[in-house]
Amino acid sequence: MRLRLPEERPAEPPTGYKIARPVLSQDGTRAGFTGVSLGGALPYGVLADASCAYGLRHRVPHRRCDCGFHCVHDRAVAEGLLCATEHRGAVLLQVTVLGAYIRFERGFRCARQRVRTATVGPCECGAAAVVLADAGWGRPGWRGLAAVCAGCVRGRTSLSLAAFARLAGEGLRVVAGPGAAPAAGFGVPELVAEAALLQARLDWFQTQLARLGQGRDGGATAQG
């Protein structure tokens, strides 16, 4: 007797959240994502069908296997995964769960998915990202990308968030998450205080130089 899981027939496809790393093909004509754990070696597009990461020929997702696209119900749970050191360079994806899926306590494991929105984090310096640039790692035929601000991109291979979305296709939206707030500017009272402090330091240095000069003169007179 085979155990059959209960079946769901939702009115509309469920929504889930996950994290992934953005990648760019070697020739620069395609953009996609790669998983951060089991499926990290298999880049996928915005609209993609899952395959068994172990190479087994069975229907995906299989209840006796870990295969399929994984996602969680709660956006906050997915955002929490970005705090891990090894996931700091990942982006947050909002996906539509398609095809057959297995529901578990925290999310889904599905046969097909469509990435709706990718939210990139700030640059390593803390500023809001404006491009996705070569991250210094990759897979055969694919370059890994990282969120970078305008000041840090320098000469690295890069493309704007809009260009990444255009290459990925299928109506993908790529948005930049908030960066560090710019430092507050000084007002007149603060500038006056800074000027007074600088003047006081300058007066102190001039006093010390005058003392050193008097010491040298006195020493020369005694020797004469």
Tell me what the mean pLDDT of segment 66-92 comes to.
95
In this predicted model, what pLDDT tens digit does every residue of 94-135 receive, in sequence order? 999 999 999 988 999 999 999 999 999 999 999 999 999 999
Q: Are strands 69-72 and 131-139 parallel, antiparallel or unpaired?
A: unpaired
Cβ atoms within 10 Å, residue 70: 22
Strand partners, 115: 95
In this predicted model, what pLDDT tens digit does every residue of 129-177 receive, in sequence order? 999 999 999 999 999 999 999 999 988 999 999 999 999 999 999 999 9
pTM metric for this prediction: 0.76
The per-residue pLDDT for 91 is 98
The per-residue pLDDT for 221 is 43
User: pLDDT: is 94 or 209 the higher one?
Assistant: 94
The lowest-confidence range among 65-69, 90-94, 98-102, 215-219 is 215-219
Q: How far apart are CA 174 and CA 201, in angstroms?
A: 51
pLDDT class for 197, splitting at 50, 70, 90?
low
Residues with Cβ within 8 Å of 113's Cβ and at least 6 positions away in sequence, in order, are: 16, 47, 48, 50, 69, 71, 95, 96, 97, 98
The per-residue pLDDT for 155 is 87
The per-residue pLDDT for 223 is 44
Q: Tell me if 69 sits within 8 A of 42, measured CB to CB.
A: no
